[in-house]
Structure 1
Amino acid sequence: MCFSQEISSGINLTGKERVWEKQNFLSSEIIEDIKILIDNDYESVRLPVAFNHYLENEKCFLSELRKIIDYTESNGITLVLAYFGHDLDDKNAKKKTKEISKNWLKVLSAIGSGTNHVYLEIVNEPNISPQVWESIAPKIISKVRKVDFDIPIILGATNYNSLFELSRTRPFVYNKLIYTFHYYEPYIFTHQGTEWTGAQNSTIGIPYPYQENEMPKLSKKARGTEGEINLRDYQYTGNKIAINDKISQIAEWAKINQVELWCTEFGVTDNAEEESRIAYLKEVKEVLNTYNIKGFVWEWDGNFGVRGLLF
């Protein structure tokens, strides 16, 4: 069953997931950003939030969140609240499941009833074993459903919302569930030069789509890493055919299981050349649209920021 009546342009409004920056959660600032997104023709906003951090450290967090919800509701903007900063792993799964569930109930108290455009992405990129995730996800969903039977819930698979992991799972028996995956393939292009991903992605100047005469030499730092193999194979992965091949697989899974499917993150670092970034984002968006998959670009501002890009 499809809850979104038509495909609309979505984007991640980031910043409130980065707790190390110790930002205050101010509705006025976030609403001003949303106004800018609306002016740039975005109709759907995913708001990554470190819920546990703000619930513990800011007394006015829920009231500020409610102001944002009131604004997006009144303007017909889809708002995805995505749970970041959960620190979930196999060892602490039982404890964190209770914490995440408890926090969602607090958030639901602020959301209230009667919303038409709010969606809950219960855990961002769960990086735990599939067996553990498939045992705890229903517990979180059940807690939410006891309070709100109708609010749409979004969930992905393990290994950072991998579409391959998702294709190996069986959908849960709950109403109004939307399944999500994140798409950053080929990683050697989308994450080129990003320090946090290590030496394997240290080669920069990689074009999209693949162009033999424009390919850079392998970075010395990447020698002997997976980056060496990935650069060698880029002629096969750096094109729209490869993108379609991967996304079509998870689209077929959704079709077979009769579930709605979104891509709540796709993007490319600003270390890549602008022309290549635009070409990549445009073609991923086109493929998603082909399969009626709602997509959210990562991100408006930041090191993957698309502010000023037209695609």
Structure 2
Amino acid sequence: MMNWGALREDDPQRYLSRPFEQPRNAFPAALMRDFAASGFDFVRLTLDVGPFIQLQGGDKQALEQKLLDNIGLFHELGLGVIVDCHPVEQVPLYSAQSILENLESPLFDQYTAMISRLASLLAGVRSGRVALELMNEPVVRDASHRTQVFVWGAAQLVLHDAARRAAADLPLLLTGADYGGVSGLDDLDPSPFLDSNTLFSFHYYLPLAFTHQGLDLGMEDAPAAPYVVDLPYPYDAVPPDELAARIDARIASDTALDASARAKARAHAHRILDGFLSDGWDRDLVQRDMDRVAGWADSNKIDRHRIVMGECGATGRNARFTGAEPVYRRRWLSDVTGLAQARGFGWSVWEINTPEFGIQRSDDPDRIDPEIATALGMSA
């Protein structure tokens, strides 16, 4: 609804004055009614931060009103809202890497001012069912994990304090460094925030070879390829030879590949498969990670109900996209959300209605898939 803002054709570094008025930004009212009826109780509304920094004057006022109106639509359905500041890279200037590159830069100052303004706006929403997430998946360009922790730790403290000055009691969602995963949260020092109205978030997409199958992210640390789409969960639900044969058959059937490209694709796909099998992902490994998060909370004397698994998800299989087989996807979603909830954590699924990660029915886009809802423990 409010991400990937529309850009000007004559200048793709600048946003349209009304960046979220495209057909794809339309509020899917019937779907959201079914979403709420299925048992979900909040929505994580992601914001492209670029327009909130770049637009000025009347355009900015209209943008802020659009945000408040969208929050109101969700509240009318009984849903709480986490407003998630979600930098994206379509305008490189407003990526997380650019924003965090220099904490003394004008850009970071502009981002901090944006956080302060959003906090002030949301403080005026009297429902008591809105929170502000300071940054989605913070990452510092070309930095070690330890450097990520130090830089994001300093940045988050500045952003938290700016938001808190603007809104004394607004719930703020904080996260760890290095894409906000389990290890980032584990290395987060929460001591400056314990007496503040804060929640703590982590994201969960493990193993990436399973959760992102069918995608090709082009990143060494995110192993995925469009040919690796038959991986099961748990890892040993299908014999390894059968998995390898399926992958080879997909590559062989791609007539766009010449012999050299086919050999390269096969080598890449089998590296992913070998890593997936050697890691041995199953319920026990997911449980280990959830216990690690619970241990972090307990050791820091943080109530587990202040922990939110802010994103989790796996690609699906439908007419528009080939991801994980439904039975394995549902099993993974059930384990991950169930184990999180059993430890007192809140959770949010990425995402509602896209071909890749959506949880809507393939034959009725205005309905949540009831089998997925059941896997998630929803009332449907």
> What TM-score do the two structures reach when normalised by structure 1?
0.85
Counterpart mapping for 1:89-108 below 5 A: 89=97, 90-95=100-105, 96-108=107-119
Q: CA deviation at 1:111?
A: 2.6
Q: CA deviation at 1:31?
A: 6.8
Change (3 A) 1:69 1:216: same
* Residue segments in structure 2 that go unaligned for 5+ positions in a row: 8-15, 88-93, 141-147, 249-262, 317-322, 362-368, 376-380
Change (3 A) 1:216 1:20: farther
Contact 2:290–2:340 under 8 Å retained in 1: yes
Q: CA deviation at 1:42?
A: 1.6
Letter of the structure 2 residue corresponding to residue 98 of structure 1 = D
Change (3 A) 1:247 1:300: same
Contact 2:233–2:328 under 8 Å retained in 1: yes
Match of 1:149 among 165, 168, 184: 168
Structure 2 CA distance, aligned partners of 1:25 and 1:104? 23
Contact 1:206–1:272 under 8 Å retained in 2: yes
% identity of equivalent residues: 19
Indicate the residue corresponding to 2:134 in structure 1.
Answer: 122
Indicate the residue corresponding to 1:289 in structure 2.
Answer: 341
Contact 2:186–2:293 under 8 Å retained in 1: yes
Change (3 A) 1:87 1:191: same
Superimposed CA distance per residue, residues 221-256 of structure 1 (whole angstroms, 9 cap, x where no aligned partner): 26268525423315x21x111110111101110122
Match of 2:5 among 12, 19, 30: 19
Structure 1 CA distance, aligned partners of 2:266 and 2:132? 39
SS at match of 1:297: coil
Indicate the residue corresponding to 2:320 in structure 1.
Answer: none
Change (3 A) 1:262 1:25: farther
Indicate the residue corresponding to 1:161 in structure 2.
Answer: 180
SS at match of 2:131: strand
Q: CA deviation at 1:160?
A: 0.7
Change (3 A) 1:289 1:197: farther
Q: Aligned residue pairs: how many? A: 295
Structure 2 CA distance, aligned partners of 1:257 and 1:198? 34
Superimposed CA distance per residue, residues 40-74 of structure 1 (whole angstroms, 9 cap, x where no aligned partner): 32211001111332553444111121122334445
Structure 1 CA distance, aligned partners of 2:75 and 2:35? 15
Structure 1 CA distance, aligned partners of 2:102 and 2:168? 28
Q: Does structure 1 residue 88 correspond to structure 2 residue 96? A: yes
Structure 2 CA distance, aligned partners of 1:155 and 1:146? 16
User: What is the RMSD of the two structures over their aligned residues, measured on CA atoms?
Assistant: 2.6
Indicate the residue corresponding to 1:201 in structure 2.
Answer: 224
Q: CA deviation at 1:151?
A: 0.6
Q: Does structure 1 residue 184 correspond to structure 2 residue 205? A: yes
Q: CA deviation at 1:168?
A: 1.9
Change (3 A) 1:39 1:249: same
Q: Does structure 1 residue 242 correspond to structure 2 residue 265? A: no
SS at match of 2:135: coil
Change (3 A) 1:36 1:92: farther
Contact 1:189–1:268 under 8 Å retained in 2: yes
Instruction: Name which one, 1 or 2, has greater alpha-carbon Rg.
Output: 2
Larger relative CO (CA 8 A, sep 6+): 1 or 2? 1
Change (3 A) 1:123 1:222: farther
